[in-house]
């Protein structure tokens, strides 16, 4: 038996929608039946048979939203325009995490692939060198089963007793399931990380609250993620997914928010000219000059150095100050005040 809460991202998106309307989330039972099409029958959400996790996610969200008034007694959308906007936002998000045009066709495994946790460097390093020392726990190199599934969420911990969902009864002991339907690496790594925490009896929410409220720990967490992804956007996606999966924050609220509809409508006619505004900014950049805040901060230092050089020149008189003496003046090095010009010393010994 599956429930909406078994699918973390649809749950978070639906929770955000419920919160926006001031109602509580209802954890409906999800039924995969061929004849059904996102209908609620006897408090069960029938979404039909799906062949991928993308279809499961889409049907759960669509079925809950379309029956929102029947569940909670209030309408979710004020207009068809708002509904279209929200559904397009969600569709774009699902397209991002489940489809990747850069991946070669047929890259998904046809059969389950058995791996180990250490084969996922980011999760392994976070667990071994960061999380386990904090929690004073021993790390276990868990078995990871990598395969597609339309009814088991992105990553889950199995203890050998709940293997019926995947029909992998031959797998014994603790192990992790990783759904190969996901192609967005930050999401894949974040879900596997949270599943690994649960497998080690570490509460993801308590851990992430501890890390988030400690500047030193948060810097370390960001640093490890930055080294792995080498891309700020993907690193931020990973951290946001971890915070969302752990329950610290729900960063899917923007997907069900209609606050940006007017802004999007205003920008939409000019979407083909986005590069033009960037080009103008690039052309104007040299004409804007230096930042006055930097100028003001360096002005006092510049005046001090210039004054020191002028004083050194006045002390030297008509003979002038050597280049070495001026350099020492810049460094405020006036230890003995006696400087010898090597050229003058050698001039008396030359034969020409």
- Model confidence at 49, in pLDDT bands (50, 70, 90)? confident
- Do 136 and 244 lie in a common domain? yes
- Do 155 and 252 lie in a common domain? yes
Asked if the structure places residue 172 within a domain, the reply is yes
Q: What are phi and psi of 69, to 5 degrees?
A: -70, -35
- Do 126 and 251 lie in a common domain? yes
- Do 207 and 308 lie in a common domain? no
Residue 251 reports pLDDT greater than 70:
yes
Separation between Cα atoms, residue 45 and residue 347, nearest integer Å: 100
- Do 171 and 251 lie in a common domain? yes
- Do 130 and 66 lie in a common domain? no
Asked if the structure places residue 266 within a domain, the reply is no
- Do 50 and 77 lie in a common domain? yes
Residue-wise pLDDT tens digits, 314-327: 777 766 777 677 77
Do 127 and 141 form a contact (C-beta atoms < 8 A)?
no
Asked if the structure places residue 317 within a domain, the reply is yes
**Which of 7-11, 242-246, 324-328 is least confident?**
324-328
Residue-wise pLDDT tens digits, 161-218: 655 555 555 567 789 999 888 888 899 999 999 999 999 999 999 999 999 999 999 9
Q: The pTM is what?
A: 0.68
- Model confidence at 96, in pLDDT bands (50, 70, 90)? confident
Residue-wise pLDDT tens digits, 215-231: 999 999 999 999 998 78
**Which of 15-29, 102-116, 153-167, 251-265 is least confident?**
251-265
- Do 169 and 215 lie in a common domain? yes
- Do 196 and 67 lie in a common domain? no
Asked if the structure places residue 106 within a domain, the reply is no
Number of domains in the chain: 3
- Model confidence at 340, in pLDDT bands (50, 70, 90)? low
Task: For the beta carbon of residue 302, count every other beta carbon within 10 angstroms.
Answer: 10
Asked if the structure places residue 263 within a domain, the reply is no
Do 255 and 86 form a contact (C-beta atoms < 8 A)?
yes
**Angle ∠(222,247,235) on CA atoms, nearest 5:** 25
Question: What one-character-per-residue DSSP string does 111-173 give?
Answer: S-EEEEGGGSHHHHHIIIIIIHHHHT------EEEEE--SSS-SEEEE-SSSGGGTT-TT--S
What range does the domain containing 41 cover? 2-98
Instruction: Among 65, 98, 131, identify where a domain stops.
Output: 98
Separation between Cα atoms, residue 97 and residue 90, nearest integer Å: 11
Instruction: Among 190, 221, 256, identify where a domain stops.
Output: 256
Helix (H, G, I), strand (E, B), or coil: what is residue 202?
A: coil
- Do 92 and 142 lie in a common domain? no
- What is the DSSP secondary structure assignment for residue 281, as one 8-state letter? H
Asked if the structure places residue 65 within a domain, the reply is yes
- Do 163 and 92 lie in a common domain? no
Helix (H) or strand (E) run with residue 179 in it:
strand 175-179
Q: Which residues contact 284 (CB under 8 A, 6 or more apart)?
A: none
- Do 52 and 125 lie in a common domain? no
Asked if the structure places residue 287 within a domain, the reply is no
């Amino acid at each position: 038996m599956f429930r909406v809460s078994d699918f973390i991202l649809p749950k978070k998106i639906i929770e955000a929608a419920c919160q926006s309307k001031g109602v509580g989330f209802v954890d409906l039972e999800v039924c995969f039946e061929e004849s059904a099409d996102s209908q609620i029958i006897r408090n069960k959400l029938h979404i039909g048979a799906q062949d991928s996790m993308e279809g499961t996610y889409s049907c759960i969200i669509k079925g809950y939203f379309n029956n929102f008034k029947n569940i909670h007694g209030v309408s979710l959308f004020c207009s068809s325009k708002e509904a279209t906007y929200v559904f397009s936002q969600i569709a774009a998000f699902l397209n991002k995490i489940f489809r990747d045009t850069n991946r070669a066709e047929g890259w998904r495994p046809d059969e389950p692939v058995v791996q180990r946790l250490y084969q996922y460097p980011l999760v392994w390093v976070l667990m071994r060198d960061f999380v386990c020392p904090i929690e004073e726990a021993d790390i276990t190199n868990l078995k990871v089963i990598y395969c597609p599934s339309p009814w088991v969420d992105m990553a889950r911990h199995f203890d050998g007793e709940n293997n019926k969902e995947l029909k992998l009864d031959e797998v014994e002991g603790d192990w992790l399931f990783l759904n190969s339907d996901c192609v967005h690496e930050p999401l894949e790594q974040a879900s596997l990380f949270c599943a690994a925490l649960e497998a080690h009896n570490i509460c993801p929410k308590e851990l992430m609250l501890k890390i988030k409220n400690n500047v030193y720990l948060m810097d370390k967490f960001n640093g490890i993620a930055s080294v792995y992804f080498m891309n700020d956007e993907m690193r931020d996606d990973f951290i946001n997914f971890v915070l969302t999966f752990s329950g610290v924050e729900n960063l899917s609220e923007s997907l069900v928010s209609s606050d940006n509809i007017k802004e999007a409508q205003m920008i939409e006619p000019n979407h083909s000219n986005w590069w033009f505004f960037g080009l103008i900014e690039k052309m104007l950049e040299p004409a804007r000059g230096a930042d006055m805040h930097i100028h003001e901060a360096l002005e006092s230092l510049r005046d001090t150095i210039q004054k020191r050089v002028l004083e050194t020149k006045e002390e030297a008189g008509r003979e002038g100050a050597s280049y070495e003496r001026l350099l020492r003046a810049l460094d405020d090095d006036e230890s003995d005040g006696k400087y010898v010009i090597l050229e003058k010393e050698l001039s008396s010994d030359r034969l020409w």
